[in-house]
Structure 1
Amino acid sequence: MKLALYLPNFRDEVTVKELEDLTALAEDLDYDSVWTLDRVFVPERSDRAEMDYPFGMMEGLPNGLPVISRGKWFQGYPLLPWLAAKTTKIRFGMSITNTPFRGSAVLATELATIDHLSGGRLNVGVGSGWMPEEFAASGVADLFPRRHGHVRETLEIMNGIWNNELFEYKGEFADIELGGFGHKPLQENLPIYFSGLKDPKRSAKRIAKYGLNGWIGIQDSPADIKRWKGEMERELNELGKGFPEDFQMCSMIWTVITDEPLDQTDNGKVTNLLAGTAQQIEDRLKAYKEAGMTMPLLWPPFRDVPTSKTMDDMKRLTEEIMPKVNAS
């Protein structure tokens, strides 16, 4: 099992220096990758829990984001070339890029450029988004009902641009006449991770059709990971496919090591999955490993936990906990 860090660029308040320090430590500790979050907008009514949907459309959470509308956070996409310049060996990506917020061809060419800037260390995460208020704020309110189709079309356009000298495409969202788009990604097969949080069948179809390299969920328990992996595997088998080689099964999970034990009773997405004592986290990671998870994305809490504490936790996870997990 590998470790990845989900950078807390979306929280009530964060500084560039904190993100820089966390990234440097992740690289020093040989983490596999660091990831940013794609967040453009927090409506003021989120503070009153009056949004259309709860965070990530996850059941059991209030209809409001965990970050205040007056918060001071950073958008995740511009951090990608910055991460490339600040590091030398760790991989990086954004989990998850909401494709409807960006023109598919523009996104494809920008990602190819960033892959060159990093020396071939970029991961690409794609998903549909879930927040109609953010679609409206981004000027694409009309795409919300059609967002899953936009992801599909973006995957086709990215693959077409990256694998052909000249490319043309006529779809629902883009009309591209035959032409070229400059440099291909430095990596021959740029890794693409898909986030589909509701429908294993849709996820399996995307993985099978486009040869995707990973799946990323949010706050999944070991039982969730086992169920998702099993259902996707069944769907893939029906399509005459299997998981691609070195497929990464991941989830973004709120993580903090505590002095006192926390209640680990299953309470859906709000369960303390990787929040608890070192022993509780060790036990949970062993369960994730057995369930088929290959890489948790460790997600610092949105507030009340200073960056210095997260850095201490990262060191303990690497030095004390993971050797026991990987030996199990």
Structure 2
Amino acid sequence: MKFGIAIRNMGPQSNRTTIRTCVRIAEQAGFDALFVSDHLCIPPDQTEGSGGRYLDVLATLAFIAGATEKIRLGVSVLVVPYRPAVLTAKQVATIQELSGERMILGIGVGWMKPEFDALGVEFRRRGAITDETLNVLHHLFGADVPGAYNGKLVKFPSFVFQPRPKRPTIWIGGNGAAAMTRAVKFGDGWHPMLPATELKAKVEELHAGALAAGRAVPEIIVRRGLKLDDTAAARTKVAAEQEAGATYFILDLGRYPDEQSFGKSVETFMAKVAS
């Protein structure tokens, strides 16, 4: 099992010093990747824990890319309906290029309707927009001069798509049938938020779908918090996730107060849980 770790890009801890220190701690500790989370327009009644302060995930990943050397960089997950498809592809390609092809692109449809309202995006069409954006990403990363694209929601003429690094790994977030279908069709991994007790049957279903479609078995990613003051229980919980079919575990330390607390938790996890 591979291990990633979530980095706060929200709240007062989302400052350049704390982020830079935490990502370097994570890299030195040996995590496979680090992950930031996506919100753009937090409504006033949803600010607990962040104060409404969220850094844009793609801009934050660009900053993190410059502060690290080898660790992979991920979004868990990018709400793609919030952004124009072609612009998203260009931003992703730029981060992938400048990071040395270290990006993991987790993708989701979103859930917070007030954010959609603030951005002028129809909430009911978020699934269709996500599918269209995934099509566009595959189309543009497929050629230096991709042909014209004529989708249901997005249309554009042929243009030069440079730089065109290797397409980043794509993980599809979401629990339902639509997300699983996207994972088989577009993704390299599936990133649900299901408890381990429900995960195993869904993983078996996903594996069957991938086999029927002639696709490789996707990575199965879970993101969990752990009580690191009870390392035996934490180890048991990680083992249960692996038994249920998870192949990738993202450690979420929640609202850690500072880089010192982050570093202490990282040390405990890597020495007593992940080892």
- TM > 0.5 fold call: yes
Match for residue 217 of structure 1? Answer: 192
Q: TM-score, normalised by structure 2?
A: 0.91
Distance in 2, matches of 1:129 and 1:240, equals 26
Q: 1:195 aligns with which of 160, 163, 173?
A: 173
Displacement of 1:12 in angstroms is: 6.0
Match for residue 235 of structure 2? Answer: 282
Indicate conservation of the 8 Å contact 2:184/2:206, yes or no: no
Deviations 1:35-55 (A, max 9, x none): 1111112212336xxxxxxxx
Displacement of 1:180 in angstroms is: 2.3
Deviations 1:213-240 (A, max 9, x none): 111123x322232132122223334x44
Q: Cα–Cα, structure 1 residues 71 and 156, in superposed 2: closer, same or farther, change >3 Å?
A: closer
Give the secondary structure class of the aligned counterpart of 1:31.
coil
Deviations 1:65-92 (A, max 9, x none): x535x34342322111111111110000
Distance in 2, matches of 1:205 and 1:153, equals 14
Give the secondary structure class of the aligned counterpart of 2:2.
coil
Give the secondary structure class of the aligned counterpart of 2:100.
coil
Match for residue 101 of structure 1? Answer: 82
Indicate conservation of the 8 Å contact 1:10/1:302, yes or no: no
Distance in 1, matches of 2:249 and 2:181, equals 23
Distance in 1, matches of 2:13 and 2:41, equals 14
Q: Cα–Cα, structure 1 residues 27 and 13, in superposed 2: closer, same or farther, change >3 Å?
A: closer
Match for residue 293 of structure 1? Answer: 246
Amino acid at match of 2:9: N
Match for residue 46 of structure 1? Answer: 46
Match for residue 248 of structure 1? Answer: 219
Distance in 2, matches of 1:322 and 1:13, equals 25
Distance in 1, matches of 2:52 and 2:226, equals 21
Q: How do 1:151-230 residues align onto structure 2 when only pairs under 5 Å count?
A: 151-164=130-143, 165-185=145-165, 187=166, 189-197=167-175, 199=176, 201-210=177-186, 212-218=187-193, 220-230=194-204
Match for residue 150 of structure 1? Answer: 129
- Name the stretch that deviates more: 9-18 or 225-234: 9-18
Distance in 2, matches of 1:248 and 1:298, equals 16
Q: 2:120 aligns with which of 117, 139, 142?
A: 139
Displacement of 1:316 in angstroms is: 1.4
Indicate conservation of the 8 Å contact 2:13/2:258, yes or no: no
- RMSD over aligned CA atoms reads 2.0
Percent identical pairs in the alignment equals 22
Distance in 2, matches of 1:184 and 1:75, equals 23
Give the secondary structure class of the aligned counterpart of 1:163.
coil
Match for residue 313 of structure 1? Answer: 265
The count of corresponding residues between Structure 1 and Structure 2 is: 274
Indicate conservation of the 8 Å contact 1:253/1:298, yes or no: yes
Match for residue 21 of structure 1? Answer: 21
- Name the stretch that deviates more: 147-156 or 70-79: 70-79
Q: TM-score, normalised by structure 1?
A: 0.77
Displacement of 1:255 in angstroms is: 3.3
Q: Any unmatched runs of 5+ in structure 1? A: 48-65, 259-276, 324-328
Q: How do 1:65-76 residues align onto structure 2 when only pairs under 5 Å count?
A: 66-67=48-49, 70-76=51-57
Q: Any unmatched runs of 5+ in structure 2? A: none
Amino acid at match of 2:103: L
